[in-house]
Structure 1
Amino acid sequence: MPQLLNNITHKDLRIVTERGAQWGDNFMSAPVTVDEFRRVQAHYPIVFQPDGKGGFVPTALFGLQEGQNLFLTPNQDGWDADYLPLSVQRLPFSIGVADDELRMMVDMDSRRISDGARGEAVFMPHGGTTDFTENANAVLQTLHEGLQATTEFVQALMDHELLEPFTLDVERPDGTHGQLAGFYIVHEERLAALDAGTLGLLHQADYLLPLYMAIASLSNFTPLIKRHLAREAA
């Protein structure tokens, strides 16, 4: 259960900033905002995950099965990519509402909560926030602002039926197959068939670039599969 961050209860709190499975980074995907697509597509496939409420969440894939993060180094103590999605960067912090204001929350059950001197201090000895905490708060604000734009972007895709389900087939060296299913991708043919007026509206809304970035990101499936097969063979 997240707690409202304060300099009394959490005066000695420290956060581990290293990356690895032991710190809870062994997840196969993470949500991303539309503003991140340019940076995300350089490393990860961008797919759209049903949210269970009739909508979709843009998602960066790190693995091909639950609990698998192929960007963790083989010894599980580093992250092999130059960009981390905001939803990963912000951990173990989140945004909550208290007294009708957005406030910073901390998940005290996170493995990133340090039990000693290890990690970054959240508060200075006199009670002020550290540069680490200010940066974490800035990440949260950017993420919060990006979510609204992302909701509108996804709604536009749904209005124009620009998402289609897909299944990824992975052939192993022994001839057996594995599949990744349950996600959606941008429907390239339908996008290409849109009339000039609709394309103009999407362009005015700054949606065309992220659409093409999402399509371009799918080329990352090939190196992701290579990582997967290498990890299986190890």
Structure 2
Amino acid sequence: MSNNVLLNNVDHRDLRVDPRRGAAFGDDVMYAPTFPDEFRNVQAHYPIVFHRDASGGFHALALFGLQEGANLFLEANGEGERWDATYIPLSIQRQPFLIGMAGEERLVHVDLDHPRVRAGTGEVLFQDPGIATEFLERARSILLALHDGIVATPPFIEALLRHELLESFVLDIQLDDGSLNRLAGFHTIDEARLQALDGAALERLARDGHLLPIYMVLASLSRFRDLIERTNRRRAAGR
């Protein structure tokens, strides 16, 4: 359960947030939401896929593993863990903070029950006399970028659906230990359909800023090889 409250410099003057990475802080997840303006950074490390929710809507995800609850980018690092990539999606970076809306105003909230907060150690959020620290200012910037990116995503999804560019896929994998594994339940870009679009459709996609993110998604699919290799290494190490 979460306990989201509006952050303020009176009630939360002594609040600390642990910035370390690890399963204990909620990082051991298979995927996280992403958005078109983030695709360039995400595709360098993670496959980008699409998932249809219960209402039928699609969401873009950065994939960290091949099964639920497995983040292949978390690695042991001395007494703790580290995230083995130079870029971490903003939806992960923002934790334990959230954006709340009061009319048109965007306000920072914090989950008081998040393990990064319950740890009671880490970065302070306010300095005397109640001024936000550099750590909190960076968190606020992450939240605003994430909020703007997610709000701007529906037109991109609508364009994909309009041109019937989303297709479901199944990835069957045989690991080095001989075990067979299947990844299903996700969608990707239908490359054949994309190549068949006429010039006017491609021009409109480019003009609306959708064509580059589409190619970033296609480029990201090569990162599945990395997920398979990381899975093989974990299996070989007995993890």
Q: Do the structures match in fold with TM over 0.5?
A: yes
Give 1:74 deviation, angstroms. 3.6
Picking from 66, 69, 75, the partner of 1:67 is: 69
Aligned-residue CA RMSD (Å): 1.3
CA displacement at 1:55 relative to structure 2: 1.5
Give the equivalent residue in structure 2 for 1:111. 115
List aligned pairs for 1:34-49, cutoff 5 A. Answer: 34-49=36-51
Aligned mate of 2:22, from 10, 20, 23: 20
SS at match of 1:77: strand
Identity of aligned residues (%): 52
Aligned mate of 1:229, from 211, 223, 232: 232
Q: Deviations over 1:21-51 (max 9, x none)?
A: 1211100100001001111000000000112
Q: Which has the higher strand share?
A: 2
Aligned-partner Cα distance in 1 for 2:48–2:169 = 12
**Where do 5+ consecutive residues of structure 1 fail to align?**
none
2:112 is the alignment partner of 1:101: no
**Distance in 2 separating the partners of 1:200 and 1:58:** 23
Are 1:186 and 2:203 counterparts? Answer: no
1:91 aligns to 2:102 (yes or no) = no
Task: Count residues in correspondence.
Answer: 233
* Cα distance, 1:100–1:40 mapped onto 2, change above 3 Å: closer
1:83-124 CA-to-partner distances (Å, cap 9, x unmatched) read: 0111011110011123653211101111111544x3110111
Aligned equivalent of 1:211, options 207, 211, 214: 214
Instruction: Give me the whole-angstrom Cα distance separating, in 1, the residues matched to 2:154 and 2:131.
Output: 35
Q: Is the 8 A contact 1:13 1:114 kept in 2?
A: no
Consecutive unaligned residues in structure 2, runs of 5 or more:
none
Per-residue CA distance 1:195-224 (angstroms, 9 max, x = gap): 111111001011111101100100000111
2:104 and 2:115 mapped to 1: Cα distance?
29
Q: Among residues 177, 180, 189, which one is paired with 2:180 in the alignment?
A: 177
| Residue matched to 2:11 | 9
